Structure 1
Amino acid sequence: MANHSENRCLRVLDYIHDHPAGDLSLDALADVAAMSRFHWHRVFRAITGETAAGAVRRIRLGLAATALVQTDTAIDRIARDVGYPNLASFRRAFKEAFLVTPAAFRQRGELRPFLIARPEVRLMFPVEIRNEPARRLAAMPHRGPYPEINRAFAKLGAVIGARGLYPQTGAMLGVYYDDPAAIAAADLRSHAGLEVGADTVLEPPLEQVLLAPGRHGVLTHTGPYAGLSAAYDQLYSLWLPQSGEEPADRPVFEIYRNTPQDTAPEDLITELCLPLK
């Protein structure tokens, strides 16, 4: 039986096929999917085995290949019809995909499907649905590769320590707004945060981040932080489709139950919290 995620991915794939020359940006396809921009690309990749950008490229070039073999339409017109107004960029993309130029492909007259490699993914960590409380964070923003958020945490710690606020802090969290498979590493947005009460005064450079209460799918990852990317893949590709749940329009966040300062890498405990509707 198809679930909500599958149906939305199928709707996006139909839309790409029907509008190859249209606006197929991530935001536009999220609207087609009627899914939160925070999560839909991860869901799409989990279901289909490819990124949205990869699907757009594959479908556009597949339509072009069919037109080259089955019609006499001029190559520049085919390029425009599938969303490549620049003929040179179309030729380059086509040759990268099919290893021959569009003209040579037409002359050969054969069609070959794209194959999507799907590595085996297994759910290695426990996941539970948990009601999380509302949280207020004292946070420092970070823009760039997620593994480099340590810089923001170091700055956060320095400010909190200098202002004598540590007695007012609780859990350490990271809030992540973008999918690293869809956004350039330099443009990824996140916050490094410490939970604080409503009465704690936050002044620049500290920023307030509010996390809404509600149901969350929580995957508990044990081990080095380098394994978190694979844990996210398991959460989105295995647990979410099987759960029948839908992500809410809020970012994922991580709760760090211990830190590398006093814990061996294999014993680090990180909770990946996916907001649910």
Structure 2
Amino acid sequence: MSQSYEKRMLRVLQYIHDNPAGDMSLDRLADEAAMSRFHWHRVFRAMTGETCAQAVRRVRLHRAATMLLDSSTDPARIARDVGYDNARSFARAFQGHYGLSPSEFRKRGSFPAPLLTRRKGEFAMYPVTIREEGVRKAAGLLHKGNYSEIGKSFEAFGAVCQSRNLWAQCGPMLGVYFDNPDDKAEADLRSIAGATWHGEVPEDFESCEIPAGRYAVLTYTGPYAGIHGAYEALFGEWLPKSGEMPADTPCLEVYLNNPRDTAPDDLVTEICLALA
């Protein structure tokens, strides 16, 4: 029975992420789940901790934030692309979620220093420390494609853990990013959306061992949509000046709080770079 509900949940989450401008009525989402609207709303909230409307709003606004930073598309067009009927209602929702208007968010660019006010070769400043880490095991769902869209795989991972009562085996939530988006086609990028893992890994999960050693750990505070600027600072500013060499292992992101109950500006992410 739990597998059946898990599949229903994954279908709905996939639909929300793949169709941000589509019909997100409770009736449509219930149809996707193949359940009655009344019962589906209760199941969704019990399994995710959010109502369907809250999940749709969060996904749409995250997509909009990413588009604002990664493109020059007019905010009114972005509003339509993520499912808002008009720019005014989109601006109100965006301001309520991010504390900034869409135009202010774009101008701020990257957190904490405004991307558009920096000259070429200048970088935002983020705290970086070097620390020793033991061997860790990561497990979760394989995500293929644009790293900025890994959120849908994290949503699916959470739904699976909830339906199978796997949370006791999870440590901190993390993402493992195997490929460099600058030299690999977007469709071929591979990552894991999951957590540090204790115990046996389910057959349909991907897993990998994160080796022990020295890691440079950059602490980024702010919306996930702005995390690219933190990578630029780590690789373009800190690493060349540090005298360190990176190891030939994937980068990790460790998520220290939950976007469902944390304001975007207060989200804390550790970017971990293994050192040779």
Question: Which range, TM-score by smaller chain?
Answer: 0.5 to 0.7
Pair 1:170-2:195 in alignment:
no
**How many residue pairs are counted as aligned between the two chains?**
158
Runs of 4+ in structure 1 off by over 3 angstroms are: none
- In structure 1, the gaps of 5 or more residues are 1-117
State yes or no: 1:257 paired with 2:247.
Answer: no
Deviation (angstroms), 1:120: 3.3
* 1:134 partnered with 2:139: no
Extract unaligned runs of 5+ from structure 2.
Answer: 1-118
Is 1:223 aligned to residue 222 of structure 2? yes
Shift of 1:203: 2.2
The one-letter code of the counterpart of 2:232 is D
1:156 and 2:157 matched: yes
CA deviation map 1:82-118 (0-9, x unaligned): xxxxxxxxxxxxxxxxxxxxxxxxxxxxxxxxxxxx8
**Do the aligned residues in 2 keep the contact of 1:156 with 1:206 (CA within 8 Å)?**
no
Equivalent position of 2:7 in the other structure: none
CA shift, 1:178, in A, is 1.5
1:189 match: 190
- 1:71-86 superposed matches below 5 A: none
CA distance in 1, matches of 2:232, 2:123: 9
Question: Cα–Cα, structure 1 residues 244 and 123, in superposed 2: closer, same or farther, change >3 Å?
Answer: farther
User: Using the alignment, how far apart are the partners of 2:231 and 2:197 within structure 1?
Assistant: 27
Aligned residue in 1 for 2:268:
269
Note the C-alpha offset of 1:168: 2.1
What is the alpha-carbon distance in structure 2 between the residues aligned to residue 163 and residue 209 of structure 1?
21
The equivalent of 1:69 in structure 2 is none
Identity %: 49
* Alignment correspondent of 1:203: 202
Does the Cα contact within 8 Å between 1:139 and 1:209 map onto a contact in 2? no
What value does the CA root-mean-square deviation take over the aligned residues? 1.4
* 8 Å contact from structure 2 (residues 130, 217) kept in 1: yes
Give the Å deviation of 1:138. 2.1
Distance 2:269 2:148 in 1: 14
Q: Name the amino acid aligned to 1:228.
A: I
Question: What TM-score, normalized by structure 1, do the two folds share?
Answer: 0.55
Tell me the distance in 2 between the aligned counterparts of 1:140 and 1:233. Answer: 26
Contact 2:123 2:232 (C-alpha < 8 Å) held by counterparts: no
TM-score normalized with structure 2 length: 0.55
CA shift, 1:123, in A, is 4.0
CA deviation after TM superposition for structure 1 residue 241, in Å:
0.8
Separation in structure 1 between the aligned mates of residue 203 and residue 163 of structure 2, nearest angstrom: 13
